[in-house]
Chain A
Amino acid sequence: MATTTTDEPTRRDFIYIATGTVAALGAGLAAWPFIDQMNPSSAVLALSSIEIDVSAIQEGQQAVFTWRSKPVFVRRRTQKEIAEAEAVALSDLPDKLARNLNLPEDAPATDKNRIEKPQWLVLIGICTHLGCIPLNNQGDFGGYLCPCHGSQYDTAGRIRRGPAPENLAVPPYAFIGPAKIKIG
C-alpha cells in the first residue's frame, strides 16, 4: 500500500479520529448503567422515617431501633452521665464538630449540640471507624466501647480515644410527643 504524506488532514485521519472518539464515548456511556446499578435501588431509598415510642426506657437504660437498616441508639441518661458529658472541655475532644444532622455542619461538639432534651441521647449506633456496633456502658468514658478496634466514646457519644475519627452521628429526629420520637 502506498502511503502519501500530506500536511493537510486526510479523510483517513478524519475517520480515524471520529471512530476513536465515538467508540470511547460510547464505551464510557455504556459503562455508567453497569456502575450505577450497584447503587442503592429506589426501593431501598424509599425507606424514609420511623416513629418510635421510648416511654418504656428507664433511666440508665438504652434501647436500639432500626432506621434505614442502621441501628439507632436511644439512651436515657442519668443525671451523673449528663453532668459528665457537660463537664468535658471542647479542647479534650478529638472531633470538635457536633455531627448532628439537625444542626448546621460547623456546630461545636458541646453536649447541648448533641441532644434535643438532656435526658435523651439519640445516636446512630455505628462506630465511625469501621462500622461495628459499640457496646453500651463500657470503656473508660462511661459511654461506649467498640469491640472491634477499641474506640471509646463518652456519655454524649463523642469519640475520646481509639482509631474512630468522628463522634457517633446524631440522626435527623424530632420529639413528636413527650416520649415519642420521629426519626428521619
Chain B
Amino acid sequence: MSGNSTYQPKTGLTRWLDSRLPILRLAHDTMTTFPTPRNLNVWYTFGAILTFFLAVQIVTGIVLAMHFLPSAVLTNGGTSSVAFDSVESIMRDVNYGWLLRYMHANGASMFFLAVYIHMFRGLYYGSSKAPREILWILGVLIYVVMVATAFFGYVLPWGQMSFWAATVITNLFSALDQVVPHMGGAHAPGIGTMIAQWLWGGFAVGDATLNRFFSLHYLLPFVIAGLVGLHIWALHVPGNNNPLGIDVQGPQDTVPFHPYYTVKDGFYLCLFVIIYAFLVFFHPDFVGNPDNYTPANPLVTPPHIVPEWYLLPFYAMLRSIPQKLFGVLVLFGALATLLFVPWLDTSRVRSMRFRPMMKQFFWVFVADCILLGYLGSQEPQAVWHLGGIDVPLLWPARIGTLYYFVFFFVVMPFLPLIETPLERPKSIAEAVLGTAQPQAAE
C-alpha cells in the first residue's frame, strides 16, 4: 500500500484490470513481496490468527442468525423465552447447530486469547513506539469494539448470566448520576439513569434491549473488519517491528512475506486451531458458565455473577473500589490508558530484550493481569487463609489494580531514567545470520 510496487501483470486480462482497479497489485504488494524482517518469531503469527478468527466469528454468526430469534417474550408458562428456546433449538434440532454454536462461543474465547497474546507481544517488543503509534491506537480501538461485540453476543442466549451481565454493565452508566443527579424537577432521574434507560428502551433490561443488542452484535464485527483494514494499512507504511526492536536497514534484513511468513503464519494457525477444535469437540462448555443454561429471570440474581473470562481482570478492578463512580472511572480508565502507551514509554530502546529492568516489571504486569483475572472470578466476600491470617480478597485486588496503573504511569515513563539498556546488535542480518552481508533469499 506504500512504497514501490513490484507487481507485473502477466496476462492481457490482468493488465486490463490493473489499469482500471489495481486490486491484484494491492494483494501482491501486501501479501506476496512485502519485505518482512527475517527474524519474526511465533508471537508475530497472532495477527494472522486474529484475522482468521474474525472470519470464523462472522461466518458462524451469520449462520446462527438464520436460526436465532431475538425476543424476550416468555414461553413455556413463563419459565423460558423465545430467544432462549431458539438457542436450544439450534443446539438440538438444527443440523449441525450444536457445532456452529460451539464454534461461535469458543471462537470468541480463542479470539480474545489471541488478542491478549498479540497485545502483550506489542508491549514487550515496544511496537507501539514511533513510528507505529497510529497502528497501536487502531489496535486498542479494535480491542474495545471486540469487548463490546462479545458483551452484546453474550446477552443473546438470554440465560441468567446474559441477563445479569447486561444489567450490571448497562448500570455502569448510572454512576454518572453522581455527576448530574437531576434531569428535571425533584425525584427526576439523573443523567446516568437516563442514559441507562435509553440503552434499555425501558425501565430495566428487557425485550427492547435484547433486540437492539442483536442488531448491534450483527453490526460491530463489520466495524472491526473495517478497523482491521486500517490497522494493516498502518502496519504496511512503517513495516513490521521485530523482536530486536531495531529498524530494518536494507534488503539483507528482510525476506518476502510469501512464502516465508504465509507458511509460518499458517503453521502456527494450524496449531492454534487444533486447540480450538479440542475445546469445541471435547470441552465445549469449558469457558462457559453453567448458569447461562438457566433462562433469564428478572426477579432473581444468581448468587455469584461473573463475566466471561476475558473480562475478569476489569471486573476485579471495578469491585476493588468501594465507591461507585470511582470504580467505574477506574474500569474505563484501565482501558483508556492503553491508548497512551506510545507516549508513556519514554525509553529509546524498543525491545525489552535489551531492557533488563523493564523486562521484570513486564512479567510482573503479566502476572498481575492473571491474578486480577483470578480475583475477578471469586465471590466478592471471599477470604484467603494465609497461615492463620484472614485476608479478604479485596486487598490483593486493590494492590493488583494499583500495580496496573503504576506500571503504565510510573514504571513506563520513569524507569528509563535509571535503567541502562544492553547493547543492541547493529542490524537484523548481523544478529540472525552473523553477517551483515546481503544474502539472496533462496
Contact = CB atoms under 8 A, between A and B. Distances in A.
Given A148-B301, A163-B323, A163-B324, A131 B381 contact: no
A3 B319 CA distance: 63
Contacts of B299: 64, 66, 71, 133
A132 B198 contact: no
A40 interface: yes
A35 B198 CA distance: 9
A20 interface: no
B324 A164 contact: yes
A180 interface: no
A132 B164 contact: yes
A150 B322 CA distance: 10
Interface in A94-150: 101, 104-105, 126, 129-133, 135, 146-150
A69 B298 contact: yes
A132 B324 CA distance: 14
A105 B185 CA distance: 10
A182 interface: no
A148 B300 CA distance: 12
B304 A147 contact: yes
A71 to B, nearest CB: 5
B167 interface: yes
A132 B212 contact: no
B168 interface: yes
Contact of B167 (A40, A68, A131): A131
B323 A70 contact: no
A39 B198 CA distance: 4
Interface in B167-217: 167-172, 174, 178, 186-187, 197-204, 206, 208, 212
A147 B305 contact: yes
B208 A41 contact: yes
B305 A70 contact: no
B183 to A, nearest CB: 12
B327 interface: yes
B208 A44 contact: yes
Given A150-B380, A163-B323, A132 B203 contact: no
B319 A101 contact: no
Nearest to B203: A68
Which of A35, A135, A165 is the most central at the interface, judged by chain B CB atoms within 10 Å of its CB? A165
Given A69-B204, A130-B174, 13 more contacts: A64-B299, A68-B203, A69-B203, A104-B186, A130-B172, A131-B167, A133-B299, A148-B380, A163-B321, A163-B322, A163-B327, A165-B323, A165-B324
24 contacts: A35-B198, A38-B212, A44-B202, A64-B299, A68-B203, A68-B204, A69-B203, A69-B204, A69-B206, A70-B204, A101-B187, A105-B186, A129-B171, A130-B174, A131-B168, A132-B168, A132-B305, A135-B303, A146-B301, A147-B301, A147-B302, A147-B303, A165-B178, A165-B324
Interface of B: 164, 167-172, 174, 178, 186-187, 197-204, 206, 208, 212, 298-305, 318-319, 321-325, 327, 380-381
Interface of A: 35, 38-41, 44, 64, 66, 68-71, 101, 104-105, 126, 129-133, 135, 146-150, 162-165
6 interchain residue pairs of minimum CB distance: A150-B380, A131-B171, A130-B171, A132-B301, A130-B168, A133-B301
